[in-house]
Amino acid sequence: MASKRDYYEILGVAKNASEDDIKKAYRKLAMKHHPDRNQGDGAKAAEEKFKEAKEAYEMLSDAQKRAAYDQFGHAGVDPNMGGRGGPGGAEGFGGFSDAFGDMFNDIFGGARRGGGGAGAGGQRVYRGADLSYSLEISLEEAAHGSDTQIRIPTWESCGTCGGTGAKPGTSVKTCSHCNGSGTVHMRQGFFSIQQTCPHCHGSGKVIPEPCGSCGGAGRTKKTKTLEVKIPAGINEGMRIRSSGNGEPGVNGGPAGDLYIEIHLKDHDIFQRDGDDLHCTVPVQLTTAALGGDIEVPTLGGKAEIELPEGTQHGKTFRLRGKGIKGLRSSYPGDLYCHVSVETPVKLTEHQRKLLKELDESLRKAGDKHSPNAKSWADRVKDLFKS
């Protein structure tokens, strides 16, 4: 049978180490070799080292067992040799639970998500859940900012039971399973886990006869109006945080937050792309051919664009600084105006005659008036040659 390693050697401390040094050394090893942190091929070896460190700590954290071990070695703490209780015994387990309870918080981050700490009377307090609200605003509101109001759910103390949750004439009782602490210790294998009491759900109290108005919650759901300031430049999908307007906490814990998610309504004229704006500008055929000034809208008013003679469909004109100044931008974006040349419809006979005369004149002049058509026709010929 292989000989057992020295407990001081296992923890990596000197024989004259203090209780704090022993506890710190154990916690470091326990965190390193904890089964939840070691999966796969090395899981078994890590578990053995975890058990070994646990046993060493149980012996050296108990003053009487440590004295016996210092004097007689492993024989002094072996229950089969008349010692005061070996690893896993009632006394040894108590010391392990104390150290492991602190270490457990380091590994798993304390209380469960949304968690908290100990409240009055040792009860666990929990932060309330966050809430989300979808708010649809116009492009103008997003660009310039605005103040608006929203209605959100809130909770008020129940008027029937005064917030106790108990039926009038009855009272709240201390939970007998956790003795009011809100937590219980569960032993799983070789270690102990502290978890929320399943009977009182962490409140430390039970209500034998719940209030008929609130169902034992102690509060009723209402709605309230909240003022929301929308900052200029906010964009689609951004969120505004309203602290403390989420669900209330448990056992006096802090309330959660409200996150207002912004969505932009479709605009009749503009499409937003980051800080830039895009719009389609319809232009008459004659204006595109002859050129001239046209008026275009912007979020700040009107602007003019000078169309050169022979402007083609799809031509884009850029107006610098006529876009939106984003939340994190130093300068506003640009406005891109995309020309859409319109073909005349519902022509009169006179208009038809004029267009036919124009068409004949253009055809007689050859390709010089339609450079794009000439280029396209050449590419088609090349396609059929290959």
Instruction: Give the pLDDT of residue 105.
Output: 42
Residue 49: phi and psi, rounded to 5, are: -65, -35
Query: What gap in Å lies between CA 228 and CA 224, rounded to an integer?
Result: 13
Q: Is 37 left (phi over 0), alpha (psi -120 to 50) or beta?
A: alpha
* Three-state SS at 206: strand
Q: Are strands 301-307 and 191-196 parallel, antiparallel or unpaired?
A: unpaired
Tell me whether residue 127 is exposed, middle or buried, using C-beta atoms within 10 angstroms of its C-beta: 0 to 12, 13 to 18, 19 or more.
buried
Residues in the chain, overall count: 386
pLDDT on residue 139 = 96
The pLDDT value recorded for residue 279 is 96
Give the H/E segment covering residue 184.
Answer: strand 183-188
DSSP state of 90: H
Instruction: Enter the tokens of residue 187.
Output: 């032993």
178's tokens: 């956790």
Contact call for residues 140 and 299 (beta carbons, < 8 A): yes
Domain 131-164+215-264 CATH class label: mainly beta
**Are both 7-110 and 271-385 of the same fold?**
no
**End-to-end Cα, the chain, rounded Å:** 88
DSSP lists the bridge partners of residue 307 as 292
Structural domain boundaries in the chain: 7-110, 131-164+215-264, 271-385
User: What DSSP character marks residue 266?
Assistant: P
Query: How many Å apart are CA 305 and CA 319, to the nearest integer?
Result: 9
Render each residue's pLDDT in the chain as its tens digit; 386 residues: 456 788 888 989 888 888 888 888 888 888 888 776 777 777 788 888 888 888 888 888 888 888 877 877 777 676 654 444 444 333 333 344 444 444 444 434 343 344 555 554 555 677 888 999 999 999 999 999 999 999 988 888 888 888 888 888 888 888 888 888 778 877 665 566 777 788 787 778 888 888 888 888 788 888 899 999 999 999 999 999 999 998 888 767 888 999 999 999 999 999 999 999 999 999 999 999 999 999 999 999 999 999 999 999 999 999 999 999 999 899 999 999 999 999 999 999 999 999 999 988 888 877 777 767 666 667 777 667 75
CATH number of 7-110: 1.10.287.110
Q: If you classify domain 271-385 with CATH, what class do you get?
A: mainly beta
Other C-beta atoms lying within 10 Å of the C-beta of residue 10? 21
- Is 299:278 a contact under the CB 8 Å cutoff? no
Q: What is the pLDDT of residue 153?
A: 85
pTM reported for the whole predicted model: 0.58
**CB within 8 Å of 334: residues ≥ 6 apart:** 276, 277, 318, 319, 320, 321, 322, 323
